[in-house]
Amino acid sequence: MKGPVWIVGAGPGDPELITLKGARLLMEADLVLYAGSLVNPQVLEHCRDTCEKVDSSRLSLEDQVELMADRCGRGLKVVRLHTGDPSLYGAIGEQIRALEARGVECRIVPGVSSLQGAASALKIEYTVPGGPQTLVCTRLPGRTPVPGGEDLRVYASTGATLAIFLSSEMAQRASELCIEGGLDPRTPAAWVYRATWPDQRMGRTTLDRLGEHMASRGITRHALMVVGQCLDPQGRSLLYHPSFHHMYRKGAPED
């Protein structure tokens, strides 16, 4: 097979959050195809002056695949640069299938997602000692549908931490669905706009006020919503409790 095409996660915004491997591949690349509307242009400063840099937002999937396959066929090093982590809403599967059908190998370098960027901004952990141990990453149907069985009301009914992507303009509807699913209207909720970018903004509120809270601040896109007790944790980890035993530490006897 030809290639590989390196599919690299650029991180959520802060250019210093790209991985060392991702930065090295950019330094070595002959072609970087990047999502111009989403990737911080400062990340491209890792590229050599001779590197061909192409904004993928102007190209169809077919055009992108043709470009990458052509450069690989010439023996050039190709990086497909995605925002955040390619495995979350990256639409990489269709690219990989099309490239492999042309005999081009693909390899993936993970990146920091806005999921982690938002958690760092809010200073939270999504899984809470003595609280939620499950994180659900989802979105509401918009121009792109979601499968019928994927219902925010069902996810809300579990009490798991909810991370809602790509749905900022539907924040009010997200709030209503969560409450219909059984969550208390006063459940903690938060949003982070453009996590880790210089113009990052965020807010904390309650589930019943989430839509109003975002709309009144003009937040209709580029925000991740978080719902759950992870925003107001009370528990303590057993792992570091004085009486907890594990293979590296013998705990003290309980009183």
What tokens does 163 get?
A: 């991370």
- Residue 248 is predicted with a pLDDT of 65
Topology given in CATH for the domain delimited by 114-231? 3.30.950
Locate CATH 3.40.1010.10 in the chain. 5-109
Backbone region of residue 75 per phi and psi (left: phi > 0; alpha: psi in -120 to 50; beta: other values): left
Beta-bridged to residue 249, according to DSSP, are 246
Instruction: Extract the runs of DSSP E, i.e. beta strands, from the chain.
Output: 2-9, 31-34, 52-55, 78-82, 104-109, 135-139, 161-165, 188-193, 201-206, 223-227
Please report the pLDDT score of residue 238 as a whole number: 45
Q: Where in the chain is the domain with CATH 3.30.950.10?
A: 114-231
Q: Which two tokens stand for residue 24?
A: 């090295």
Q: Which helix (H) or strand (E) holds 166?
A: none
Q: What is the mean pLDDT of the segment spanning 194-199?
A: 98
Q: 240 falls in which pLDDT band (50, 70, 90)? A: low
What DSSP letter does each residue of 168-235 carry, written as one string? GGGHHHHHHHHHHTT--TTSEEEEEESTTSTT-EEEEEEGGGHHHHHHTTT--SSEEEEESGGGS---
Tens-digit pLDDT profile for residues 28-62: 999 999 999 899 999 999 999 999 999 999 999 99
Q: In angstroms, how far apart are the furthest CA atoms of the chain? A: 71
Q: Indicate the fold that domain 5-109 takes in CATH.
A: Cobalt-precorrin-4 Transmethylase; domain 1 (3.40.1010)
pLDDT tens for 104-156 read 999 999 999 999 999 999 999 999 998 999 999 999 998 889 998 899 999 99
What count of other Cβ atoms lies within 10 Å of the Cβ of residue 243? 10
| Spatial CB neighbours of 36, under 8 Å, sequence gap ≥ 6 | 55, 56, 57, 58
Report yes or no on whether pTM surpasses 0.85.
yes
